[in-house]
Structure 1
Amino acid sequence: MQKLDKLAIHGGTPVRHTMNAGMLRGAMVVGPEETERVAQVMRAQSMSRYYGPDNQGAVSTFEDRLGAGLGMPYTLGVSSGTAALVVALKALGIGYGDKVIVPANTFTATPGAVICCNAVPVYCDMDETLNMDPEDLERVMDDEVKAIIVVHINGHPCDMDRISAFAAKYNLPIIEDVAQAFGASYKGQQAGTFGTINAFSFQMQKIITAGEGGAVATRDFNLFERSVRYHDQGSFRDKDRYVTPGSGLTAGEAVIGQNYRMTEMAGAIMLEQWEKRDLIISSMRRNHRKIKQALKAELPGIQFRKTVDEDGDIGCILALLHDSAERAKQFVEAMTAENFFTYFMYGAKPIYMMPFLLNKKTLEKNDFPFDYPFKKPVEYREGMCPNAERILPRMTLMPVSPIMTDKEADEVIEAVVKVYRGLELV
């Protein structure tokens, strides 16, 4: 590579003249197909999956396609990824007096869903994959823990062999939170198929998106029925779709539930996004690998996020590990000046450091459910997950867009090399 110019942060010319795209993936390929599908629903005046004069069946069709693609017999469209987590936890019967293991590095929705189900999260440390560290699971385990939520962060799978072995040892159900990693795999098996019950998100920033939306998937009909009933005010309106002569299945009774139904508009969008999933993922993987290989060649000392399955990573994020938090901060500032969106995950802090989680603040009386008299009290404090607190301030992230061109990928390579050399980061 030829000699590079002065850094933009020092008054040089930036590699790009305008800031690159942010964290959008499926949203970047929305086109007339999604518009026409939604228009069909609107023309039919049937926006609810269960009501309307000419229902188009968009949600149920999407559920069938998602289930077939995952190899999961029971899938349910819901209103959001957070709703998917809540529904999954409720299906498992998680509630007051229970603890649920969650990773220290995740979005607010993961521990938030646990708390909204009247249980409390306990935090497992992370490692340099940015995912849950299987080595730390024993530390947070006790007989009040009733489930574990596994989050595949930024498109990379967790070490499911070791996590599954831990869960089996203690007979814990696993909820896979696949919000950030639709299409990822571990040793050839798709993320979202390892868990007892699994949660997907189709929010605006996700790999495939309806703006808002989610799904639950499981192999257990009983958990599926409980999910359906909880998400639809206790009803199981599609019972005849599953409980048929010869199926061997029987349906239970109505229960009190909530309204977490996916709309037909969201279902319509997801049908078109589903058709684009391979294009989205293959593009990100191709560009991610190109960039990573080129940076390894140009900067032999560069450190990337650790991987447990390189082939299973969908390549939606280029994650670089720096020698110190200060060097990481310098890198972000310099890359931003070169017009590349570069950032720290969740403010470079583990999720439990969010004040409302650290201080156990809820809108309930006595900060319920934290008022439960656990045999082993639940305490949150700075320093309880040292790996997360040490790694996150040193890890910088750059999104890899599904519409990134070869020229744009080359610009990423040029900018990273320019900044690393200009700041003498290697």
Structure 2
Amino acid sequence: MAGTEIFGKEELAAVRDVIERKMIHRYGSHAARNGIYRVEEFENRAREISGARHALAVANGTAALIVALKGIGIQPGDEVITSPFTFIATVEAIVACNAVPVLGDIDETLSLDPASAERLISKRTRAIMPVHMFGAAADMDRFAELGKKYGIPVIEDACEVVGGTYKGRMLGSLGTCGTWSFDPNKTLTVGEGGIVFTDSEEIHSRMDCYHDHGHIHSKEHDRGAEGKSGLGVNFRLSELQGALGLVALQKMDYALGLLRSAKKRILEAVSDTGIVPRPTHNDEGDTASHVIFMLPSAESAVKFRDAAVSAG
């Protein structure tokens, strides 16, 4: 389910408010905006929901991954261990930092296998990036253990599991950093947008400056009068997207409820067929954005696919 399927009058009102106030930029113009900062409100609400100490809204999920890598200090030539089974943005973010993606194996849940990741750790490894695939969590207990054992930051690519949990904790809040995406194909969308979570004030500060041309943000100074921490890029989110994000988070439980209800009906309907659903590391936290079946061979998988397409 794409997030636009649940768009309604709430989104129209949120966007209209921003346009009528003519306040699109998330920073500056402090005297004219009457204390209204929609992106900041979006970040604060996401932080409350996730349980993370800090949240930074950015232009998209890919930007979130890049900003997270920059935040932990990834340098050219550093190695980042990640999954070979993911959307290309995971690898693109690593390459964008001039780092080296090192691809492990996946386990039966289709997520990065922690044992494989451990075998790939080298003196050049600077991060491990598990990907929570198709709505379900990677084995975060094991990745937390690896991070602690080797002193390596763990970055959760949680772009596909907004609202998903692992043993009661929100995905994206378990690693050194974690990322959510709100692109048009996601269950919740702001058009284009993403968020990075971290509990580290130092990492958050570096990410905050990097995502906006190195600006050191302060409401004591207007735009352009604040200090600079160095070079950065433009991965800012606009107030329009921030306003949409607030509505999206209000609809999170509703959207997840729709997905989980639909998935339950599907699994019940095929329960006596012998078709086996994908195992997960935590069934209760699955966002139910996908229904994945594990079939015994490639041939049977193709046959199933063709039958499903034929049936509409």
Q: Same fold (TM over 0.5)?
A: yes
Q: Does 1:338 align with 2:288?
A: no
Residue correspondence of structure 1 range 172-191 to structure 2 within 5 A = 172-191=152-171
CA contact (8 A) 1:73 1:218 kept: yes
Give a deviation string over 1:66-86, Cα, whole Å, max 9, x none.
111112221111000000001
Q: Does 1:223 align with 2:203?
A: yes
Q: Does 1:26 align with 2:6?
A: no
Q: Does 1:285 align with 2:260?
A: yes
Amino acid corresponding to residue 208 of structure 1 in structure 2: L
Pairing partner for 2:241 from 260, 263, 266: 266
Q: Does 1:305 align with 2:285?
A: no
Amino acid corresponding to residue 268 of structure 1 in structure 2: A
Cα drift, residue 33 of structure 1: 0.8
- Partner SS, residue 317 of structure 1: coil
Q: Does 1:324 align with 2:297?
A: yes
- Partner SS, residue 270 of structure 2: helix
- Partner SS, residue 216 of structure 2: coil
Q: Does 1:204 align with 2:177?
A: no
In 2, Cα distance between equivalents of 1:291 and 1:142: 44
Distance change (3 Å), C-alpha of 1:201 and 1:48: same
- Partner SS, residue 235 of structure 1: coil
CA contact (8 A) 1:97 1:119 kept: yes
Pairing partner for 2:118 from 122, 138, 142: 138
Residue correspondence of structure 1 range 145-160 to structure 2 within 5 A = 145-160=125-140
Cα drift, residue 118 of structure 1: 0.9
CA contact (8 A) 1:177 1:192 kept: yes
TM-score by length of 1: 0.69
- Partner SS, residue 280 of structure 2: coil
In 2, Cα distance between equivalents of 1:292 and 1:142: 42
TM-score by length of 2: 0.93
Unaligned ranges ≥5, structure 1: 1-23, 241-251, 340-426
In 2, Cα distance between equivalents of 1:32 and 1:91: 37
Cα drift, residue 253 of structure 1: 5.8
- Partner SS, residue 306 of structure 2: helix
CA contact (8 A) 2:79 2:99 kept: yes
CA contact (8 A) 1:25 1:280 kept: no
CA contact (8 A) 2:28 2:219 kept: no
Cα drift, residue 302 of structure 1: 1.3
Cα drift, residue 238 of structure 1: 3.6
Unaligned ranges ≥5, structure 2: 221-226
Amino acid corresponding to residue 203 of structure 2 in structure 1: L
Amino acid corresponding to residue 39 of structure 1 in structure 2: R
Could you say which residue in structure 1 is the equivalent of 2:229? 254
- Partner SS, residue 146 of structure 1: strand
Amino acid corresponding to residue 29 of structure 1 in structure 2: I
Could you say which residue in structure 1 is the equivalent of 2:50? 70
Pairing partner for 1:276 from 251, 258, 261: 251
- Partner SS, residue 293 of structure 1: helix
Could you say which residue in structure 1 is the equivalent of 2:71? 91
Could you say which residue in structure 1 is the equivalent of 2:26? 49
Amino acid corresponding to residue 43 of structure 2 in structure 1: E
Could you say which residue in structure 1 is the equivalent of 2:16? 39
Amino acid corresponding to residue 283 of structure 1 in structure 2: L
Cα drift, residue 290 of structure 1: 2.8
Query: Aligned pairs, how many?
Result: 305
Q: Does 1:79 align with 2:59?
A: yes
CA contact (8 A) 1:59 1:263 kept: yes
In 2, Cα distance between equivalents of 1:78 and 1:95: 21
Cα drift, residue 161 of structure 1: 0.8
CA contact (8 A) 1:45 1:54 kept: no
In 2, Cα distance between equivalents of 1:192 and 1:28: 24
CA RMSD of aligned residues (A): 1.8
CA contact (8 A) 2:51 2:170 kept: no
The structure having more radius of gyration, on CA atoms, is 1
In 2, Cα distance between equivalents of 1:178 and 1:218: 13
In 1, Cα distance between equivalents of 2:115 and 2:197: 27
Cα drift, residue 208 of structure 1: 1.2
In 2, Cα distance between equivalents of 1:66 and 1:160: 21
- Partner SS, residue 130 of structure 2: strand
